[in-house]
Amino acid sequence: MTMQSGARSSSLDPTVARAVLDAPAIDRALTRIAHEILERTGGAEDAVLLGIPTRGAVLCRRLGELITRFEGRSIPLGSLDVTMYRDDLRLKPARALGRTEIPSGGIDGRLVILVDDVLFSGRTVRAALDALNDLGRPRAIQLAVLVDRGHRELPIRADYVGKNLPTSLREAVEVHLSETDGRDCVLLGIKGE
């Protein structure tokens, strides 16, 4: 299988990296999150799922497919690029802009569920909240993440979590998805040199 744009090989030291979620575990986590969304939102009648590129957008599509299968109707999906809202633009090398795609019904008065792969410091989610401000006024905003690794720098909490994964600050978490990386797994390890 060829890797698509956004693909990466692991940057973790292979001598200490270990898989903490395999493909079936990721599927189970997403299935549980989809059921929790439906339960907590009364069937997600007025919900919109927005994925944060790159892997959050992939997870958003997968959650949308699960909700469609469980409910027999589709849920509006989109993506929300937060690049220009990040507070570390001047500290990191230039990066390509992702796509922002808002469903045709917009987000005003809707429940927006942001979807991302890993929740760490909370700064990406803060950027997403700023980006949403420029797009409309949701009724409420919730957050779904595949992995919550702790170490928050901002008062942000996920509403739906696939796996809580306590880590040290030395450790790194990498999410690999078949659509972007050729395989599904979550790796935990130390960054290689």
- Which residue ranges make up each domain of the chain? 18-88+101-190
Residue 145 and residue 156: Cα distance in Å, rounded? 12
Model confidence pLDDT, tens digit, residues 6-56: 566 788 877 778 999 999 999 999 999 999 999 999 999 999 999 999 999
Q: What is the mean pLDDT of residues 159-172?
A: 96
Q: What is the mean pLDDT of residues 131-139?
A: 96
Quick one: pLDDT at residue 8? 66
Quick one: pLDDT at residue 101? 96
Comparison of pLDDT for 97 and 123, the residue scoring more: 123
Query: DSSP letters along 36-105, please?
Result: HHHHHTTTTTTEEEEEPTTHHHHHHHHHHHHHHHHHSS---EEE---GGG-TTTTTS--------B--TT
Quick one: pLDDT at residue 94? 64
The SS3 call for residue 118 is strand
Quick one: pLDDT at residue 13? 79
Residue recorded with tokens 């994964």:
165
Q: Residue 191 carries which DSSP code?
A: B
Model confidence pLDDT, tens digit, residues 92-122: 766 677 789 999 999 999 999 999 999 999 9
Sheet with 160-164, edge to edge strand ranges: 77-79, 47-51, 111-119, 140-148, 160-164
Model confidence pLDDT, tens digit, residues 166-176: 999 999 999 99
Quick one: pLDDT at residue 93? 65
Residue 24 and residue 79: Cα distance in Å, rounded? 25
Residue 20 near residue 188, CB atoms below 8 Å: yes
Model confidence pLDDT, tens digit, residues 81-95: 999 998 877 677 666
Contacts of 145 (CB under 8 A, 6+ apart): 115, 116, 117, 118, 119, 158, 160, 161, 162
**CATH class of the 18-88+101-190 domain in this structure:** alpha beta
Burial 114-140 (b: 16+ CB within 10 A, else e): bbbbbbbebbbbbbbbebbeebeebee
Q: What is the mean pLDDT of residues 149-169?
A: 96
Residue 62 and residue 75: Cα distance in Å, rounded? 11
Q: Which candidate, 181, 179, 177, places its Cα nearest to that of 21?
A: 177
